[in-house]
Amino acid sequence: MLEINEMWRLSKNYVLNALDSEKGPFFLFNLEDGTIFDLNLTSYFQLSLFDGKRTIEEIENLVVKKFASKNLNVVKKDFVYFIRDLIKEGILTKIKGGKR
């Protein structure tokens, strides 16, 4: 179960890249197996916030602020599903002792 005060970061074998941080294209590279994921702006923005210094709650607040023109409940729900998928796939790593 996710706790809003936990801190997460990209796993060590993943790297984000954007040719232009506002327009893209956006990519997530798996350095271990060479897989390249083509990302949209929303996914790139959210992944870029997982630096191990912010809590899930802080990241969620930044995502909600950025996409405030959208339905708030949908944005929050999509954010939780996105995180769960990233954790399940091993893309995010929990920071040990990383809680506020």
Position 89 in a domain: yes
User: How confident is the prediction along the chain (100 residues), in pLDDT tens digits per residue?
Assistant: 678 899 999 999 999 999 987 888 999 999 999 999 999 999 999 999 999 999 999 999 999 998 877 778 888 889 999 999 999 999 999 998 766 5
Does residue 82 lie within any of the structural domains? yes
| CATH number of the domain residue 75 falls in | 3.90.930.60
**Within a domain: 100:** no
Is the residue at 91 inside a domain?
Answer: yes
* pTM for the predicted model, two decimal places: 0.87
Nearest-10 crossing angle of helices 41-49, 72-88: 70
Domain count, the chain: 1
Residue 1 lies in a domain: no
Has residue 28 been placed in a domain? yes
Q: In whole angstroms, give the CA distance from residue 98 to residue 100.
A: 7
pLDDT for residue 99:
65
Q: How far apart are CA 95 and CA 77, in angstroms?
A: 23
Strands 92-99 and 51-55, by their bridges, are unpaired
Q: Which whole-number Å values give the CA distances from 7 to 15, 39, 72, in the listed order?
A: 18, 22, 23
Report how far residue 66's alpha carbon sits from residue 64's, in angstroms, rounded to the nearest whole number. Answer: 6
Range of the domain at 14: 6-95
